[in-house]
Amino acid sequence: MADRHWAIIVHGGARTIAPDRIVANRNGCAAAAAAGAAILERGGGAVEAARVAVCMLEDDPTFNAGRGSVANAAGEIEMDAGIMDGETLAIGAVAAVHRLHNPVEAAAEMLDQVPVLLVGKGAEAFARSRGLPVASKPLRPVPAEAAGHDTVGCVAFDRAGHLAAATSTGGLAGTLSGRVGDAPLPGGGFYADDAIGAVSLSGDGEAIARMLVGARVMRAMEDMPAPEAVRAIRAPLQRLGAEAGVIAIDARGRIGLDHNSDHFAVAFASADRELVAITHSDEWTGE
């Protein structure tokens, strides 16, 4: 019988956060984690909790996703998002979209579809076919100088023992038009499997993709709890001189986080723990 535990963790990106943006990052993550926690507390599903939490982060211009997305080299925004259901292993992902306010909503609508990933106009047409709002013009980017911008994500574990992961990003500022990072790549920026755990990442997308960093943390969770397994990001990131952060929950609902960036805005809560919101892993002393 599934136990009654539930847990949720969200992130607002792994990078340097300017001192005057710390509170906004912490509060934004806390609000998103609280919204997801309320769903899990009343017995709602992990996929729903992750979708709602990431939507809230996309709506908060503090973060580089959805409303807060930064411009690429062409001065346009191109957003990527992915979500995975750890019970069914269904995946939905969209990439290089610029007319969707909430890319994670379009990704979630794909969970019952065969394709794993839709890009650009096809993804936007699919979103429209599902009744999601699609802007008539490309959404406008925010200035990249606005510190604290980065990818957002959520990992959730529900009372039925199911896991979900979702990640959404406006990408890295100034990248080539058409560039897609790790956020919509399963095993890169997200993954979820009820038998093992679930992860969401932020950081240098090319390095995360090249080293399959998300998959490495999943592999580590086969042998150890999430708080230890997250350290599997360290060696591959060091090898490529890259920066990233990861949040994870294992199959027993234990939470882990790790990063090698200056900051990592994170908030988490569980059936047995009040909500905690931090901007560096050192602020959390653990279980």
If one asks whether residue 203 binds ligand ASP (CB under 6 A), the answer comes out as yes
Comparison of 25 and 270: residue with beta carbon closer to ligand ASP: 25
Site for ligand ASP in 177-196 (CB under 6 A): 181-183, 189
Comparison of 83 and 251: residue with beta carbon closer to ligand ASP: 83
Comparison of 13 and 68: residue with beta carbon closer to ligand ASP: 13
Burial bucket for residue 116 (CB in 10 Å: 0-12, 13-18, 19+): middle
What does the per-residue mask of binding to ligand ASP show for 144-173, with x meaning CB under 6 A? ------xx-----------------x-xx-
162 contacts: CB under 8 Å, gap ≥ 6: 45, 46, 47, 85, 86, 87, 194
Closest CA to 36 of 226, 249, 213, 219: 249
By CB under 6 A, which span of 115-123, 139-147, 156-164, 175-183 interacts with ligand ASP? Answer: 175-183
Give the DSSP per-residue string, 204-247. -HHHHHHTTHHHHHHHHHTTS-HHHHGGGGHHHHHHHT--EEEE
Q: What are phi and psi of 187, to 5 degrees?
A: 85, -15
- CB 189, min distance to ligand ASP, A: 6
Token duo for residue 146: 């606005």
In one-letter notation, the amino acid at residue 59 is D
Q: Is there a catalytic annotation at residue 151? A: yes
By CB under 6 A, which span of 71-79, 111-119, 199-207, 215-223 interacts with ligand ASP? Answer: 199-207
Residue 94: how many other CB atoms lie within 10 Å:
32
Site for ligand ASP in 225-284 (CB under 6 A): none
Site for ligand ASP in 12-71 (CB under 6 A): 13
- CB 111, min distance to ligand ASP, A: 21
Closest CA to 82 of 116, 32, 121, 114: 116
The single residue of 151, 167, 175, 279 carrying the catalytic annotation is 151
Site for ligand ASP in 3-22 (CB under 6 A): 13
HSE toward the beta carbon, residue 104, CA cutoff 13 A = 31
Chain residue at closest Cβ approach to ligand ASP: 205
> Binding residues for ligand ASP, per CB under 6 A?
13, 150-151, 169, 171-172, 181-183, 189, 202-203, 205
Catalytic residue numbers read 151
